[in-house]
Structure 1
Amino acid sequence: MRCRCLKYVCLLILLFQSSSLLAQSDLQTKLKSFKANNDLSNWIYEQLDYANENPQTATNTILKIQQERWRNAQTAEERFAWLNLLSTLAYYQLLEGNIFGSINSYENALSFFRKHNILDYDAVEYIFKPLGNNYTRLGDYERALFIQKQSIEFQHFYNEDINKTAAIYCNMAISYRSMGKLEDAYKAIRTGLALKPDHFNRIMLNNVYADILYDDQNFTKAATIIESNISKQKASNVENAYWLMSSYTTAGNIYLQLQQIGKANTAYSKALQLLNQYYPHKRLRERANLYTQIGATYLAQGMPKEAIDYGHKTLKTLGITSTKNIYGDNKLVEVFMLLAKANLQLKQSEKALTNINLSLLSADKIRNEFAADKTKERLQGYLKQIAEQGIEISYHLYEQTKDEKYLQQILALAEQSKSRTLLDQMQRNQQSASKNIKGDSLFLRKQNLERNISYLEKQAIEEPNRNPTKNIEGLKYDLALVNKALSKKYQYLNLDDYQTTIETDKLANHRFIEYFIGEKDVYIINIHQNKIENVIKLPNAKGIKLELQKFLQTYFHNGANAMLNNPKAFFQASHRIYQLILEPIKLKPNEQLTIIPDGVLGYLSFDGLITRNNYTENISKWPFLIKYIATDYAFSIQTLQTEKKVNTSTSFTGLFITHSEGNKRELKAITTEADLIKKYVAGDFLFDKAVNPQSFEQLFTKSRVMHIGTHAYLTGINNEPTLDFGKEKMYLFELSAKQSAPSLVVLSACQTADGILANGEGIISLSRGFNAIGTAATIASLWNVNDEAAAQIMASFYQSLEKTKDASEALREAKLNWLNSPKISNAVLLPYYWDSLIYMGKSQKIDINRPLNWLLYSSILVTTIIGIIIYFFLRRKA
C-alpha cells in the first residue's frame, strides 16, 4: 500500500514538473516572438506576469529582464511598462527584506518617472509611498519626509484622492514620531483624520496615533485607542490583514511597556498568526520584528534562554547565518541588543559584549547609507546608549580579570560616540578633493548642487519670508542620489569606519584623557605613553552633568558678573569641578595633556580650573591648572589620526573687521589686535570692506595660518554658527572642502567653539567646521571674549609662536603672559577674561615669517653709508 502511495506522489511530482517545463517553454516561445517583432512592452509584461505568478523567484526574474533587454524604452507605452518593472522589482526586494536593494530600485523608478513625466502612472501609490516608507524603515527620516511632502503636492495637483492623501499624512506622522517631533506627528494625524477618509485609512491613522501616544508615555490612552482599533477590524485579505497585524503589534508594545506580559504575548502571537496565514513567505522584516518582541516578553519574565531562541529566529528570518553577512538594518540592531540583555541575565558577559559590538556594526552600516549629516547625528544619540552598555560590561570584566583588552574595548566604544559625523565629513572632503574625480560630470553636478543648497540655506536665514525650504529639500535629495552614484563609481569614496580597536600606539607619547558621559555613569579613559593606564568610573552622571551645566552657565555663559561679584564662590566651584573630573587622574607637573571632552564638557576650558583649595584675594596667586599642565583638545582620537594634506608654506593671512559701519557693536580693539600682530608676523592683512567670502576663499588655500578677527555668533532658529564679515555673513554650512587648507585657523571672535550640542556627536561649531574641511587645528573661543584681553593675548601668541614654533604651546605662553604681566585691575586675571580661547586639533610645528625691522635695516644702511663716506674721505686725504 505504501509503495502504491509513493508511486502516486512521484507521478504527481512528474506531472507538476512537466507542466512547469511546458509553461517555461511556452513563455520562451512568446518572448522570442515579441523580440522578433521588436515588441518591448509585451516582452516586459509577459515576464512580469510570470514573476507575479512565481513570487519566490520574482526578484531574479525581473533582474534577468533588465539584463536581457535588447534596447531602451522609446514610446510612452514602453516607458510605462519599464517603470512598472522598476517599481515591481523594488516591491519584491522589500518583501524579501532587502531594504537597500528596494530603495535603490524605487529611486531608479522615481528618476525614470521624473525624466519622462509619465503622469498616467500612479506614482504616489507605487513609487512615492513605498519609497518614503523604506526611508522610514532605514531611519532616514529627512528623506522620508521630503518624499511624503512631494506625494502630498502630487496628489493635490494631479489626482485629488482624500484616502490617498490621508495615508500620506499617516506616513508623515510616522516620520515625525521617529524623529521625536511628537507635536508635528499629532498634527499630521489630525490633518489626516480631518479629511474624513474611509474606514481602512482611519484604522491606519489611529494605529499610528497609538504609537505616538506610546512615545509620549501616555500608555493608558494608547491602549484605549489601539483596543478600539482592533475591535473595528477583521482580516479578510492581505491588505486589511496587514493593518490588523500592525494593530496587534502596537498593542503588544504598549502592554509590554505596562508590564502586562500575558496580554503582550497574546497580541504578538495573534500578529504572527496573521503573518503566517496571509504572508507565509513575505513581510520578513515584520516577522523578524515580532520574533524580537516575543523574545522581549520572555526576557521581561526572566526567561533569557527562550528570549535567545526567538532572537535566533529573528536572525534566521533576516538571513544572518554568520557574523560575516551582517548588514545595516534597525531590526538587526534591536535583536543583537535583545541577545546581549539575555546574555547578561545568564551571566554571559563576553557574549553580551560580542552582541553589543554586532549591534553597533549593523548600525554603522545603516549610517553609511544616510545622506544628511543631521540624520547621522540623531543616530549617534541612540548609538551612545548602546555604547554605554558595552562600556559598563567591559569595565566590570576588566575589574574581574585585569585583562587590558577590555580597556581597549572601552576606548573603542567611547570613540563610537565621538564626532563620527565629523570624521565622515573629514574623510569625504579629503576624498572629494581627489584629482581622479575632479572632471567627472557627476562630481561637477555634486558641486553645483552643494553651491545651490548653500545659497538657499543662507537665503533662508537672511530672508526667511521667502521660504526656500522646499527647494532646499529637493536639492538635498538630488545630492544624496548623486553622492550614491559617485560612491558606486569610485569605491574608495565608500566609508566604513566602524572599528573594534583604536590604535593608541600611533598617538604622541604625552597623556590623553578621553571622557564618556553616559546616562548612568561617567568614564575617564587615561592614556599615557601610548597605553591605556586606567579607566575611572564616576557614578551619578546626571548629577555631574547638572553641576557642570550650572557652573558653566553661572560663570561663563551669563557673562563675567558672577565671577566678578563673588570671586571666592567661583574659586570654590572651580576647585570642585577640578576634583570631580580631573583630580582622579593624578596628573604630574609639566605634563602635556590632550583632552577629548564629551557632552557638556565640550563647553569647558580646563586651563582656568583651580587645582588646590587655598583661596586668596590675590588672583595672580591662584593655582590655575595652566600653571602646572599644558593642555590642548581634540574631537576624537580618530579625527586626530585622519591624514590631512600638510600646508608647507609660511604665509599668513589676517582678516580684520572692525564693524565701524553698520548696526553691530564696533570692535575698536580689532585694529589694536592687527597692529600688535603686525609686529611679529609678516603677511596679508585685510580690513573691513576688503574682507568678504570671496577674499576668504581666495586666501584660504594659500595660507599656512589664517587669522580672523570679527563678530561671531549663533544665528536663526537652528543656532547656525556664523562669522560676520560686515555686509556679508559666512555660515558653517558654507565651508567647503579645498585642495589645501591652513594648518591653523585662529578665530579671534566670540563663541567660535560654541554651538548646539548633538548628543553622541559633540558641539556643532565653526571650529569643528574648519576641521571638517581640512584644517589641522583651530584656536577658537568658547564664550564671549573680552576685546582688549583677546587683542593682547593674540599678539602674545604670535610672539611666542615665532620662538616656539608650537601653536598649542604658544597659546599657553600667551595666557601665562597675561596672568604674569602687570594689570590695571586684579579682576581681569579671572578666567572669564583670558581662558575662552582653546587649541583644538593636531599638535604641529608652524613657521611664520617675521616682518622686516625697518628701523634696524635703516640704521644698518645709514651706518654703512657713513662708513663708506669716511673711508673715501680718508683715502682721498691720504
Structure 2
Amino acid sequence: MIAVRRILFLVIAVFVTGCTSNVTRSTLSGDYKTLADKGQQTPELLSLPTNELWAYCQSFVKSRVFTPIDGCFNELDKRFKDADDTLLYMVQGWFDTQFIAPGAFGEGMLTELKLETAMARGNIKNTESLANSLYNLTTTYAYPLAVTNTDYAERYPQIAGYDESGYSNIYRLKHQVLALGMLGLMAARNNEPELASRYASEIAAIDASSTNAAQWRLPQAKALWLGRIYLTLGDFEKAYQASIIEKNAMYEFLDGLTTALDVIGPIMYAAMVDAYGDTDYKTALNFTAEFEPRFMRHQAELETGRLAAAQEGYQAIINEPKVKGFGTVYWQALYGLGRIADLQGNNSQAINYYQRAIEVIERQRKSMDTEAGRIGFVNDKQAVYGDMVSLLVKEQRFNEAYNYVERAKARALVDLLATKQRFGSQLPPAAEQALTSLQSIEQQALVNDSGITNEATRGIAVQLKAIEQTTPQLASLLTVSPPSLSSIQNRLGKQETLLLYFFSQGRQPELFAFVVTASSIAVHSQPLPALEESITALRDAINRGDGDAWQKEAAQLYSHLIAPVANKLNAAGTLTVVPHGALHYLPFTILTAPDGRLLGEQFNLRLLPAASVLQFVDEKVAGEQLLALANPDLNAPELDLPGAQREAHQISKLWPQSQIYSRTQASESLLKQQSANFQIIHLASHGVFNPDAPLQSRLFLAADAANDGMLTVPEIYDLNLDANLVVLSACETGLGDISAGDDLVGLNRGFLFAGANGIVSSLWQVPDEATSYLMGRFYTYLQSEAPSSALAAAQQDTRALYPHPFYWAAFQLTGGQ
C-alpha cells in the first residue's frame, strides 16, 4: 500500500497508453528543454491528451520559453471548466483507471503553473494575486483525488478519497508552502522584512512530520522556500542551514522512492526500464528531484563565503546537459561563477561568465510574445548587468560599460515593440518578408543548444540589413545590441552633454553617471544613495502645493546626482538626461545647486528613455502646421477642462497654420485621420497609465461611431506621425509605474515610436489654469526657439506667477530638439 502511494504521482504523469512516451521520459528526467523544443514544433499541441499537454506546459515554464505558455493555460482552463471543474490526469492507463483532480485540487494544480509563470515574467501584481488565490484554496477546501475504477478505489481508499495523511492532502500542504513562499519572497524583495519573516514562520509551522509528508517531499519544499526567503532577506546562514535540512530530506525521499520502485513488481519496473533503460532510471529521477534544491544550496554557500563548495557546485550544474531546461538556474549558475571569479580578483573570467549569463537572459526575453512579459522580465536580473558594468568601469573599459548599460535600461522601448503583430499593417512588403525570416532564424536559435550559430548569425545580419533599408526604426527595435557609443556621440551637439544614469544592484550597489560629449566619455561611480526615499519626499513636498520643504530634498538630490559631475558639465548649453529607475519620476529642473540656482536655470533640459533613441530624433520635419484637440466631450462633466479649451484658442492666435477642435469634434477618429499631416500636435485631455497592462494606457478623446475615444498605446504606435513635437497637456500622461528593470512604458514612448521627434508631457496632475498659462508662454517662445529652451523659458515665466514648483515643474521634454 505504501509503495503504491509513493509511486502514484508518477502514475498520474506517466501511464497513459500502456507504454511510456518521450514526453514522459523528458518530464521525469528533468529534460525540460528537449520537451520545450519539441512542443514548439508540435502543431497539434493543444489537441494532445491532458497529461501530455500538461507536461509540455510545465516544460515551457521551467525552460522560460514564454511564447506558447498562454495558449497552454487557455486550453487547460477550458478543459477544466468543460469537465465541471475537474482536471483529468489519466485516461485508459494502467489498471484501466482514470485519475482526476476535482475542484480545489485541479484548480490548485493550474494555479501552481500560472504562479510560477507570473513570477518568471516579473508580473508582481499577478504573482501576488495568484499566490493569495492558491493559499485561499488550500485553507478553505479539501483536496480530494478521485479514482474511477471501483476495484482499485476499494483497495486503496486513502488514494481515492481524502484523508489527513494521504497524497492529496500532502499536495494541498505543498501548495500552501508554495503560496506562502511566493508571498514571503515578494515581501523580502519589497523590503518588508517583518512581513517576509511572518510568512517564513507560517511555512515553518506547517507539519511535515508524517511518513507521507516525507515521502512526498514536503520537508524539502518547506526548506526550499525558507531558504529563498532568507537569501533575499540577506540572512545567508539561515538560508544555508535550510539547504542542509532540505538535502537530508531529499535523500530520504529518494531512497524511499527508489526502494518502492524496486519492490512494486515487474509491471512498474518494466515501465521504468522502458522510460530510462535498466541502469539509468534512478539517476534520472534523482536529477529531477534534486537539481533546483542543489542550486539553492550553492547560492547559500556563495553568500556565506563557502566559495570552494559553491564553485564546485555551480560548475557541475553548468556542465549538466539538461541545465538549459531550467531557465532560471542556468543563468544564475553562470552569474554565481562570475561573482566567485570577481571576488577572487579574476576579472577576465568574471566578465566572461557575466557575459554568458546576460546572453542567456536576452535569449529568454526574446521568446516572450506578450508585452507585459517583456516589461517585467528583467526585474530580478539587473544585478548581472550591474556587476558587469561595475567591473568594466573598474577596468576603465567605459565604452563596453556603456553598451551594457544600454542593454540593461529601458528595455520596454526596445523589446515591447519587437513582434510582427505590432508592425504588420505598416511594413513595406520587403520589410515584412525580412521580418518573418528573421523571426524564424531567431526561433531556431532559441532552441539550439549551442546558441546562435555562425550560419544563423549571418542570416540575422542579412535580414536586419534588409529591414534597415526599408524601415530603419524597426531594425533597431529588433536588435539586442544598442548603437555604438561613437554613433551616439556623432548625434550630440557641440554644446550638448549626455548625462546617463545607471543603478547597479549587484554585489556592491552603486550609482554610475556616464558623462558623454561629442568627443569624450567619463564615468563617475559612488555607493548607491537612498534616492527613492529622497524622490518620494520631494514629490510629497511638491504635491502639497505650498511651503518650501521641497528645497531641502532638491538640494540633497543635486548633491547626489549633479555635484559629482558638475565640473564636466560646464561647457554644456543643453543637458540631455537619460534617467534610470526612480529617476524617471524626478523633476530634474528643480534640483538646486549650493548657490541656489535650479538646474533648469543652468541648462536647457531634455530627457531620453535610452541613449539609443537619439538615432530617431533631432531630424527636424519641414513645416509648422499645428493640430490641437482640447477639452473633448467625455460625457462626464467632472472631466471637463475649460482651461484647456481656452488654452487651445490662445495657441491658435500664435500659430496661423493651426486647426483647433474641441468637445465632440476633438475625437479619436479625427486624430487618426489628420495627425499625419501636422508637424505639431497638441492634445489637451486626460490620460491614464495602466501598470498591470501598459499597452492599455490611454488618452481620452471624444468617441463616435468609428472609435471608442480611448486612444491606447498600440493605437498610438499605428498613428504614423511626421511631427516635430507632440504636447500632452493633460493629467499625468508621461509616466507610470517603474519596475526594477527600468521598463517604464508611458504614452510618450508610443508617440516616439509613432514618429514624433519630441514629446512634452507631465509628471503629475497640474491645475488647469496654471497649465493654460504655461502652455501659452511655451508656444510663444517656440516660435523662435528650440523646444527645450522654449519650455525652460515658459517655466520661468510661470514660476514668476505661480512660485511653487507644483504649478510648473511637472512638464518635461522627452526626445528631440
Same fold (TM over 0.5): yes
Please give the secondary structure, in 2, of the residue aligned with 1:548. helix
Equivalent AA in structure 2 for residue 423 of structure 1: V
Identify the range of structure 1 (143-152 vs 338-347) with the bigger mean alpha-carbon deviation. 143-152
Counterparts of 1:702-717 in structure 2, within 5 Å, are: 702-714=677-689
Counterpart CA distance in 2 for 1:513 and 1:167 is: 53
The letter for the 1-side match of 2:501 is Y
| Candidates 626, 636, 640, aligned match of 1:652 | 626
User: Equivalents in 1 of 2:351, 2:691: separation in Å?
Assistant: 42
Corresponding residue for residue 515 of structure 2: 527
Tell me the residue number matched to 1:434: 427
Corresponding position: 1:554 with 2:541: yes
The answer (yes or no) to whether the contact 2:631–2:662 under 8 Å persists in 1 is: yes
Does structure 1 retain, via aligned residues, the 8 Å contact 2:632–2:667? no
Quick check: 2:502–2:512 contact (8 Å CA) kept in 1?
A: yes
Are 1:688 and 2:674 matched, yes or no?
A: no
Contact 1:207 1:229 in 2 (8 A): no
Gaps of 5+ in 1: 1-47, 59-86, 114-120, 235-242, 321-325, 444-486, 615-622, 820-825, 844-878
Q: What SS does structure 2 have at the residue aligned with 1:701?
A: helix
Could you say if the C-alpha distance between residues 750 and 169 of structure 1 is closer, same or farther in structure 2, counting changes exceeding 3 Å? same
Structure 1 residues 159 and 366, CA, compared in 2 at 3 Å: closer, same or farther? closer
Residue of structure 2 in register with 1:786 after alignment? 767
User: Aligned to 1:347, what secondary structure does the other structure show?
Assistant: coil
Would you say the 8 A contact 1:652–1:704 is kept in 2?
Answer: yes
Match runs of 1:119-198 below 5 Å: 123-128=49-54, 130-131=56-57, 134-135=60-61, 137-138=63-64, 140=66, 146-156=74-84, 162-163=100-101, 166-176=105-115, 178=119, 180=124, 181-182=127-128, 184-191=130-137, 194-197=142-145, 198=159
Q: 2:611 aligns with which of 616, 637, 659?
A: 637
Which residue identity is paired with 1:336? L
1:780 deviates by 0.7
The structural deviation recorded for 1:631 is 0.9
Structure 1's 439 and 90: CA in aligned 2 closer, same or farther, altered over 3 A? farther
Q: Could you tell me which of 552, 565, 574 is aligned with 1:592?
A: 574
- Deviation, 1:283, is 8.7
Q: Which amino acid aligns with 2:171?
A: M
Q: Deviations over 1:122-166 (max 9, x none)?
A: x32221464255235527476665455334223327877752652
The residue identity in structure 2 corresponding to 1:109 is: E
Q: Which residue of 2 aligns with 1:339?
A: 337
1:301-320 aligned at under 5 Å gives the runs 302-318=305-321
CA distance in 2, matches of 1:591, 1:646: 19
Tell me, in whole angstroms, the C-alpha distance in 1 between the residues paired with 2:502 and 2:762.
23
Q: Distance in 2 between matches of 1:692 and 1:799?
A: 26
SS at match of 2:752: helix
1:404 aligned partner: 396
Q: What secondary structure does 2:378 align onto?
A: helix
1:701 aligns with 2:676: yes
CA distance in 2, matches of 1:716, 1:631: 27
Equivalent position of 1:109 in the other structure = 44
User: Residue type of the partner of 1:744?
Assistant: L
Distance 1:760 1:230 in 2: 44
Farther off after superposition, 756-765 or 267-276: 267-276
Task: State the match for 1:202 in structure 2.
Answer: 169
Question: For the structure 1 residues 554 and 277, does the alpha-carbon distance in structure 2 shift closer, same or farther, using more than 3 Å as the test?
Answer: farther
Q: Which residue in the other structure is 1:850 paired with?
A: none
Instruction: Tell me the alpha carbon deviations over residues 226-265 of structure 1, each in whole angstroms, 9 at most, x when there is no partner.
Output: 743665454xxxxxxxx54x86466356468433154344
* Aligned counterpart, 1:770: 751
TM-superposed CA distance for 1:602, in Å, is 1.0
RMSD over aligned CA atoms reads 4.1
Alpha carbons of 1:526 and 1:723: their partners in 2 closer, same or farther (altered >3 Å)? same
Q: Write out aligned runs for 1:304-453 (5 A).
A: 304-318=307-321, 329-395=327-393, 398=394, 403-405=395-397, 407-428=398-419, 429=422, 433-436=426-429
Match of 1:12 in 2: none
CA drift of 1:698 comes to 0.7
The alignment partner of 1:779 has SS state of: strand
Q: Is the 8 A contact 2:511 2:528 kept in 1?
A: no
| SS at 1:750 equivalent | coil
Partners of 1:714 and 1:841 in 2: CA distance: 20
5+ unaligned residues in a row in structure 2: which ranges?
1-15, 89-98, 146-158, 160-165, 185-195, 231-237, 259-278, 437-459, 468-473, 704-708
CA 580–167 in structure 1, closer or farther in 2 if over 3 Å, else same: same
**Cα deviations across residues 254-296 of structure 1 (Å, max 9, x unaligned)?**
4684331543443455678779963535797766535534533
Given candidates 516, 524, 527, the residue that maps to 2:502 is 516
Give the letter aligned to residue 429 of structure 2: N
Partners of 1:355 and 1:297 in 2: CA distance:
19
1:594 partner SS = strand
For 1:747, the equivalent position in structure 2 comes to 728
* Among candidates 796, 799, 811, match of residue 837 of structure 1: 811
Q: Secondary structure at the match of 1:690?
A: coil
Secondary structure (helix, strand or coil) at the match of 1:749 reads: coil
**Aligned 8 A contact 2:299 2:336 in 1:** yes
Structure 2: distance between partners of 1:658 and 1:523: 43
Q: What's 2:701 paired with?
A: 725
Q: Please state how far the C-alpha of 1:578 moved relative to its aligned partner.
A: 1.8
1-structure distance, mates of 2:70, 2:737: 19
Larger mean CA deviation between 745-754 and 514-523 belongs to 514-523
Counterparts in 2 of 1:798-809, with a 5 A limit? 798-804=779-785, 806-809=786-789
Q: Which residue of 2 aligns with 1:617?
A: none
Q: How far off is 1:796 after superposition?
A: 3.3
Letter in 1 for 2:564: P
Matched residue pairs, number? 666
- Alpha-carbon contact 1:97-1:283 (below 8 Å) kept: no
Please list the CA deviations of residues 753-799 of structure 1 after superposition, one character each: whole Å capped at 9, or x if unmatched: 13222221243322123224343321111112233333333333333
Matches within 5 A, 1:820-859: 828-843=802-817
Say if 1:410 and 1:357 are closer, same or farther in 2 by CA, change over 3 A. same
After superposition, the Cα gap between the structure-2 partners of 1:648 and 1:99, relative to the gap in structure 1 and judged at 3 Å, is farther
Output one character per residue of 1:720-747: Cα deviation in whole Å (capped at 9) or x when no partner.
6432224533344543434445342111
Residue 181 of structure 2 is matched in structure 1 by: 214
SS at match of 1:156: coil
How many Å separate the matches in 2 of 1:222 and 1:660? 50
| 1:798-835 alpha-carbon deviations (Å, 9 max, x no partner) | 3333323x33333234334545xxxxxx5513322222
Q: Distance in 2 between matches of 1:138 and 1:164?
A: 28
Higher RCO, 1 vs 2 (CA within 8 Å, ≥6 residues apart): 2
Alignment of 1:452-601 (within 5 A): 497-499=479-481, 502-507=484-489, 508-509=492-493, 510-519=496-505, 521-530=509-518, 533-541=521-529, 543-555=530-542, 558-560=543-545, 564=546, 566-567=547-548, 569-586=549-566, 587-588=569-570, 591-601=573-583
Alignment-mate amino acid for residue 841 of structure 1: G
Contact 2:778 2:790 in 1 (8 A): yes
Partner of 2:645: 671
In structure 1, give the amino acid aligned to 2:672.
Answer: E
Is 2:752–2:758's contact at 8 Å kept on the other side of the alignment? yes
Contact 2:757–2:816 (8 Å) recurs in 1: yes
Instruction: Give the conservation status (yes or no) of the 8 Å contact 2:203–2:222.
Output: no
Q: What is the CA–CA distance in structure 2 between the aligned matches of 1:598 and 1:796, rounded to whole Å? A: 30
Where does residue 280 of structure 1 map in the other structure? 283
How far 1:751 moved relative to its partner?
0.9
Identity of aligned residues (%): 15
- How far is the alpha carbon of 1:705 from its aligned partner? 2.0
Matched to 1:209, the amino acid is Q
Q: Tell me the CA shift for residue 513 of structure 1.
A: 1.2
Contact kept? 2:415, 2:478, Cα under 8 Å: no
Shift of 1:206: 2.5
The separation in 2 between residues aligned to 1:163 and 1:600, in whole angstroms, is 45
Structure-2 separation of matches of 1:426 and 1:284:
39
C-alpha distance 425-212 of structure 1, shift in aligned 2 (>3 A) = closer
